[in-house]
């Protein structure tokens, strides 16, 4: 897995430990802003980027001290990460890092391909000009972000396109399934961007998806979106390790 530079890690150097805890350096969080969410976001990034290795024992007290929050806040963060499959809690032993394997990443993207392909079909069949205009607005967000070279903004706008695609499909449960995977996707998109020849190509590829949806051909729209996600799956998965025994 490639090393992320300080900008991609949130502007601070988190590699290595300087206090003897055995944990990588992490920024302390300032109250009162949704501390559990912030803590889970930092831990998620460390797990997916390799800062916290598979099998690492996550001790509440040490993490609370490292992040400058209460043990209860860390405990709440653990709940989110357990639900995402990034850590597991063992009775009388505590919490341990699982990390995503190559197979896990492929499964996440396979789910995306299925639900986003269906969303594209449903939206194409609607032939709703206002819905298409709302989806087009997210491509404008991508282009605006590429003009400034802001990678985080590009990533956010990219994710917004796919989230809005699912929301505009009219299928509420389909949208909920997508939202369930957003936390992991926010980090996986770091690798998703790498195959593009230029930042402008990101917007161009999403424009091609919109054009297929706008054509009204549901089969074409579904096929284009599925291929877009499957291509990303194959690229992103290459950065992750095979599961043990594979």
Across the chain, which has 246 residues, the per-10-residue mean pLDDT values are: 36 51 74 76 83 90 93 92 86 87 90 97 97 98 92 90 97 94 78 70 95 98 97 89 58
Q: Report the pLDDT value the prediction gives residue 44, as an integer from 0 to 100.
A: 86
Long-range interactions of 197-203: CB distance < 8 A, separation 24+: 199/146, 199/149, 199/154, 200/143, 200/146, 202/142, 202/146, 202/154, 202/158, 203/139, 203/142, 203/143, 203/146
Question: Would the pTM of this model clear 0.85, i.e. be above it?
Answer: no
Cβ atoms of 56 and 95 within 8 Å: the answer is: no
Q: Report the pLDDT value the prediction gives residue 240, as an integer from 0 to 100.
A: 81
Q: Report the pLDDT value the prediction gives residue 232, as an integer from 0 to 100.
A: 92
Q: Report the pLDDT value the prediction gives residue 67, as an integer from 0 to 100.
A: 93
Q: Report the pLDDT value the prediction gives residue 194, as an integer from 0 to 100.
A: 60
Q: Report the pLDDT value the prediction gives residue 17, as an integer from 0 to 100.
A: 56
Q: Report the distance separating Cα 212 and Cα 119, nearest Å.
A: 13
| Strand pairing category for 57-58 and 87-90 | unpaired
């Amino acid at each position: 897995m490639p090393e992320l530079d300080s900008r991609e890690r949130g502007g601070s150097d988190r590699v290595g430990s300087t206090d003897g805890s055995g944990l990588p350096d992490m920024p302390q969080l300032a109250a009162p802003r949704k501390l559990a969410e912030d803590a889970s976001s930092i831990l998620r990034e460390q797990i997916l980027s390799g800062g916290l290795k598979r099998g690492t024992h996550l001790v509440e007290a040490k993490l609370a001290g490292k992040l400058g929050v209460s043990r209860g806040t860390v405990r709440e963060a653990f709940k989110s990460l357990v639900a995402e499959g990034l850590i597991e809690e063992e009775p009388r032993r505590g919490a341990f890092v699982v990390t995503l394997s190559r197979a896990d990443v492929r499964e996440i993207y396979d789910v995306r391909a299925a639900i986003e392909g269906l969303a594209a079909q449903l939206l194409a069949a609607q032939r709703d000009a206002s819905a298409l205009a709302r989806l087009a607005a997210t491509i404008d967000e991508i282009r605006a972000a590429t003009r400034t070279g802001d990678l985080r903004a590009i990533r956010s706008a990219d994710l917004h396109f796919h989230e809005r695609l699912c929301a505009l499909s009219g299928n509420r449960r389909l949208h909920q399934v997508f939202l369930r995977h957003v936390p992991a996707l926010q980090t996986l998109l770091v690798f998703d961007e790498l195959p593009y020849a230029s930042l402008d190509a990101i917007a161009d590829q999403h424009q091609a998806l919109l054009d297929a949806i706008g054509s009204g051909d549901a089969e074409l729209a579904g096929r284009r979106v599925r291929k877009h996600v499957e291509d990303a799956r194959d690229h992103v998965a290459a950065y992750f390790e095979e599961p043990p025994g594979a």
